[in-house]
A = this chain, B = another copy of it.
Amino acid sequence: MNLTVAQLSESELLARIFPRLHAGTTTLLGPGDDAAIIAAPDGRTVISIDTQVQDKDFRLLWPNGSTSSGFDVGWKAAAQNLSDINAMGAIATAMVVSLTLPSTTPVGWVEDFANGLSAAIVALGAPQCSVAGGDLSGGSELVITVAVTGSLNGLDPVLRSGAQVGDQVAVCGNMGFSAAGWALCESSIPPSAHTPAMAQAAALFARPVPPLAAGPVAAKSGATAMMDISDGLLRDAGRIAAASKVRLDFDSSMLAAQAEKLMETAVELKENPLQWVLTGGEDHSLVSTFPASQILPEGFVRIGSVVSVDAAKSAVTVDGQNFEGAEAGALGWDHFAV
């Protein structure tokens, strides 16, 4: 029952993984050769890479007694990579996966990872995307890297640099739920004591649900700039502002409406839900800009507008004012911040 990866040969372990990997419709050659071959119907391939590290990006056991199962880590690996493709306005075509595993890793954890990765691909709405190949390594801690490819299907990509003064700023997807779920994991409140709202936040932290249909729809609807919120709204909006040489001004009432959804959990943890909305990243929602006259696509909510750079103000402001006590660039996730 406690079979570990050290007790299997590499080929035996692969034989347990391969049947669990989702086979989509875009792979011309799947796992088993030196490389895979993916369809690139419009002559372009979108590509991104993302890594999760044990005890940095997830814990196998959290302070409140929650665990990150292999399924959860696989789901999150899929979600965060699919989200990067979504944020370009593209649809995912394939993933290649590198697993660095301590020798003590249970084989069941790895099988569960493959199940979660594949389940997320289908459940999040990317069934065309195949797991096309991968690599196994030994190491002292779990490190999971996924590279993902996508197709724009003839559309122009939606970059960070296209926001225009006068545009409206909109978001699509959950805001701050993953951050609230993380705070619960780090708290002393066990999962058994979760209210329904807490359980929802915890579930969305373990298995984020990025709005994968929304990226290509936004691209077709004339989005001028777009990115996925992986490091927090303020930080990522600041990146659009910098790339587009504009300022993004948020409407505090719209932010408050988002924060209100997290109020019950925030009160319980004595946290500020607005902080989760502004700095929580791993919901992998979209922040986009659209022309002012554009009717927003379904699922997008207006949260502000694109205005001119003002030397006295930060790249992202709220009701025209610098966000109190926190510059955009200093908030959100930084992998090496001490």
- Chain A positions within 8 Å of B, measured between CB atoms, are 5-11, 13, 28-29, 32-41, 43-57, 83-85, 87-88, 90, 94, 96-98, 100-101, 103, 132-141, 143, 145, 147-150, 152, 157, 159-160, 227-228, 243, 329, 334-338
Contact = CB atoms under 8 A, between A and B. Distances in A.
Contacts of A39: 43-45
Contact of A336 (B57, B88, B132, B138): B138
A149 B40 CA distance: 12
A48 B36 contact: yes
Given A96-B147, A336-B136, A45 B56 contact: no
Nearest to A27: B47
Copy count, this protein chain: 2
A172 to B, nearest CB: 14
A34 to B, nearest CB: 4
Given A9-B336, A53-B139, A139-B141, 9 more contacts: A5-B336, A11-B329, A33-B160, A35-B84, A40-B40, A51-B145, A57-B137, A136-B335, A145-B145
Cβ-closest 8 pairs across A and B: A40-B40, A147-B147, A35-B48, A34-B87, A49-B96, A145-B145, A53-B139, A45-B45
Contacts of A101: 336
A282 to B, nearest CB: 14
A337 B49 contact: no
Given A133-B49, A141-B139, A228-B34, A10 B40 contact: no
Contact of A133 (B36, B47, B94, B329): B47
A138 B77 CA distance: 16
A333 to B, nearest CB: 9
Given A8-B336, A35-B46, A41-B43, A51 B13 contact: no
B98 A49 contact: yes
A227 B33 CA distance: 8
